[in-house]
């Protein structure tokens, strides 16, 4: 099972610490990108195996056998097998094989950076989140993919049809007007995370409805704790090891009018003031931290906000907590863990995201984990074919369906209405959960290497959802607004050098203080002192630089 997190902010911070960065620009417009998009041509010498006629909707098949090099993220839940149906079908139907560099998931980001930095990267480098590519740009190691969009008709069509150009310009475009990551594209925002509750324990407190807002949720947690004496805490959270309450604060933050948790970024754009502010010192951030600290003080929230996932899950399954962060995939995983412990009948529910004092906002993006291409790929005879293949696999309806579901007639069937059904012996997530085989582990499909974190059409996204999750997703999207895309200032090279370390040290200090405030290790009465400490680390300089760049950019 793939657990997807918002990696944009943390990726940028890591990238900033590694190298002199090229900054994002909001320039460009029109299909596929800015004025520089699609300008680089490909000659005959780099067109070996390419199709002469390749359009959106065309099935890609190389005109001769080709081997592409692939940096493969090897996930422990579905270790790579050379005889997967995914590989054999791509060989027989697309005339493509891979020379793989297999990298364990635990080492993925570090090994990927080392290989790229050493000039040893494979041509195809998937599972790269927006922002992670930035550290490699100045060294010239990765391809400015926006130069070659004329060879990627499926990608450009979806960007236009789904209105994603502003998102791409804001999140991906660099100071040179180009971008270097082909993102996963989603027709609808990526909404997965909320809080999973034990309905039986909530029912013991007379609670059968989801809370309207976070204040009501706090009241519910108190009631649940009182009605169930066996609970140590009503809520003991996971995904806290690298960022305190990383998922929970990230989900709450848009409804408080800030960024936090996994999604924290120092430079928060205030839409009303039309300028950047330091997120971690705003009144909105203080309100969010105060709310979480209040839960801990009331005994509703477990103060172990840096515990491991295993610890949090064990507390949930053992009955010492009644709530835990979760997502649309982990809901199934939790049910399996309860069943494995002999508690198959415990009812669980992913609650709808409550509203907050700022409103009913989501930060869900339509861009997801994507694909880098090594710059050296442009020198290969099969370069044009590689672009066509990537465009077909990651962005055509046919390619995405293949990556998600596999081969019709072998792993799934499809009826006249287009409804897909997995073969009864094959399971994935909530589909056929008791089947002896897994679609990813035994066949290589529904695999983040080839699916770009479920970047897909609405139809395909919903095709692998249970009815319960489809309903939850529809209700969340119908009841929430997505925060508007923020402008992305264009920082010059000297500015980047000056701000990269500032950004990292300020964020580290904010995260440490956040954990201390929430757990009671530091009194919220010292908030003004904390703000002064952050200022002393260069917060004013950092934000002034962003605002000056934005003003310069806007002319």
373 touches 142 (CB < 8 A): yes
Q: Quick one: DSSP state of residue 439? A: T
**Class of the CATH domain delimited by 8-14+61-188+366-468:** alpha beta
Distance CA 131, CA 134 (A): 6
Segment (H or E) for 518: helix 493-519
- CB within 8 Å of 238: residues ≥ 6 apart: 247, 307, 309, 312, 313, 324, 325
313 touches 324 (CB < 8 A): yes
Long-range contacts of 341-345 (CB under 8 A, 24+ apart): 341/317, 343/317
Bridge partner residues of 142 (DSSP)? 374
| Model pLDDT, residue 223 | 98
Task: Please give the CATH number for the structural domain made up of 193-361.
Answer: 3.40.190.10
**What is the three-class DSSP state of 192?**
coil
How do the domains of the chain map onto residue ranges?
8-14+61-188+366-468, 193-361
Residue 157, both tokens: 């069509």
| Per-residue tens of pLDDT for the chain, all 555 residues | 333 333 333 343 344 333 333 333 333 333 333 445 876 789 999 999 999 999 999 999 999 999 999 999 999 989 999 999 999 999 999 999 999 999 999 899 899 999 999 999 999 999 998 878 888 888 899 999 999 999 999 999 999 999 999 889 888 888 788 999 999 999 988 888 999 999 999 999 999 999 999 999 999 999 999 999 999 999 999 999 778 999 999 999 999 999 999 889 899 999 999 999 999 999 999 999 999 999 999 999 999 998 999 999 999 999 999 999 999 889 989 999 999 999 999 999 999 999 999 999 998 678 888 999 999 999 999 999 999 999 999 999 999 999 999 999 999 999 999 999 999 999 998 889 889 999 999 999 999 899 765 568 888 888 888 889 999 999 999 999 988 878 777 777 788 778 888 998 999 999 999 999 999 999 999 999 999 999 999 999 999 999 998 888 776
| Model pLDDT, residue 554 | 79
Q: Which of 324, 486, 464 is nearest to 404 (CA)?
A: 464
285 touches 507 (CB < 8 A): no
Return the residue matching tokens 């013991």.
Answer: 204
| Model pLDDT, residue 49 | 98
Q: Centre a 10 Å sphere on the Cβ of residue 361 and count the other Cβ atoms it contains.
A: 19
| Model pLDDT, residue 27 | 34
Burial (0-12, 13-18, 19+ Cβ within 10 Å), 53: exposed
DSSP string, 304-364: -TT--HHHHHHHHHHTS-SEEEEETTHHHHHHHHHHHTT-TT--EEEPPPPBBTTBSEE--
- CB within 8 Å of 399: residues ≥ 6 apart: 60, 154, 392, 393
- CB within 8 Å of 92: residues ≥ 6 apart: none
Q: Which of 210, 209, 164, 212 is nearest to 184 (CA)?
A: 164
| Model pLDDT, residue 364 | 66
- Asked if the domains 8-14+61-188+366-468 and 193-361 are classified in one and the same CATH topology, the answer is yes
Q: Is the pTM of this model over 0.95?
A: no
Distance CA 266, CA 506 (A): 8
């Amino acid at each position: 099972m793939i657990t997807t997190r918002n990696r944009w902010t943390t990726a940028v911070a890591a990238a900033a610490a590694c190298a002199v960065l090229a900054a994002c620009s909001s320039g460009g417009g029109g299909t596929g990108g800015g004025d520089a998009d699609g300008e680089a041509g490909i000659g005959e010498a780099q067109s070996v195996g390419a199709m002469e006629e390749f359009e959106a909707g065309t099935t890609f098949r190389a005109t001769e056998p080709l081997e592409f090099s692939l940096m493969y993220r090897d996930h422990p839940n579905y270790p790579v097998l050379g005889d997967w149906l995914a590989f054999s079908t791509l060989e027989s139907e697309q005339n493509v094989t891979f020379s793989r560099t297999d990298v364990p998931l635990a080492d993925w980001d570090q090994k990927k950076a080392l290989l790229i930095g050493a000039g040893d990267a494979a041509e195809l480098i998937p599972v790269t989140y927006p922002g992670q590519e930035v550290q490699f740009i100045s060294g010239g190691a990765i391809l400015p993919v926006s130069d070659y969009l004329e060879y990627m008709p499926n990608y450009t069509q979806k960007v236009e049809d789904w209105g994603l150009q502003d998102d791409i310009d804001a999140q991906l475009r660099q100071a040179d007007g180009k971008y270097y990551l082909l993102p996963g594209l989603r027709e609808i925002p990526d909404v997965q995370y909320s809080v999973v509750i034990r309905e039986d324990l909530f029912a013991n407190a007379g609670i059968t409805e989801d809370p309207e807002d976070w204040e009501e949720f706090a009241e519910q947690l108190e009631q649940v704790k009182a009605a169930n004496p066996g609970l140590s805490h009503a809520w003991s959270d996971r995904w806290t090891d690298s960022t305190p309450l990383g998922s929970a604060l990230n989900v709450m933050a848009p409804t408080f009018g800030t960024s936090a948790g996994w999604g924290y970024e120092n430079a928060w754009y205030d839409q009303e003031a039309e300028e950047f502010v330091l997120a971690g010192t705003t009144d909105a951030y203080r309100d969010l931290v105060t709310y979480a600290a209040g839960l801990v003080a009331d005994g509703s929230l477990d103060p172990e906000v840096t515990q491991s996932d295993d610890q949090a899950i064990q507390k949930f399954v053992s009955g010492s907590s009644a709530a835990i962060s979760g997502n649309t995939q982990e809901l199934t995983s939790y049910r399996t863990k309860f069943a494995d412990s002999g508690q198959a009948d415990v009812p669980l529910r992913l609650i709808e995201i409550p509203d907050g004092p700022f409103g009913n906002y989501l930060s869900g993006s339509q861009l997801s984990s994507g694909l880098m291409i090594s710059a050296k790929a442009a020198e290969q005879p099969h370069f044009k074919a590689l672009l066509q293949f990537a465009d077909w696999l990651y962005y055509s309806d046919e390619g995405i369906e293949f990556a998600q579901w596999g081969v019709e007639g072998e792993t799934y069937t499809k009826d006249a209405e287009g409804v897909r059904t997995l073969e009864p012996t094959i399971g994935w997530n909530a589909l056929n959960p008791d089947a002896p085989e897994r679609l990813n582990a035994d066949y290589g499909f529904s695999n983040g290497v080839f699916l770009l974190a479920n970047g897909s059409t609405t139809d395909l996204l919903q095709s692998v959802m249970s009815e319960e999750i489809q309903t939850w997703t529809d209700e969340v999207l119908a009841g929430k607004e997505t925060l508007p895309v923020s402008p992305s200032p264009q920082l010059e090279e000297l500015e980047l050098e000056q701000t990269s370390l500032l950004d990292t040290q300020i964020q580290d200090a904010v995260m440490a203080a956040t954990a201390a405030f929430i757990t009671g290790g530091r009194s919220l009465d010292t908030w003004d002192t904390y703000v002064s400490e952050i200022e002393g680390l260069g917060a004013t300089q950092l934000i002034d630089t962003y605002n000056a760049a934005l003003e310069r950019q806007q002319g």
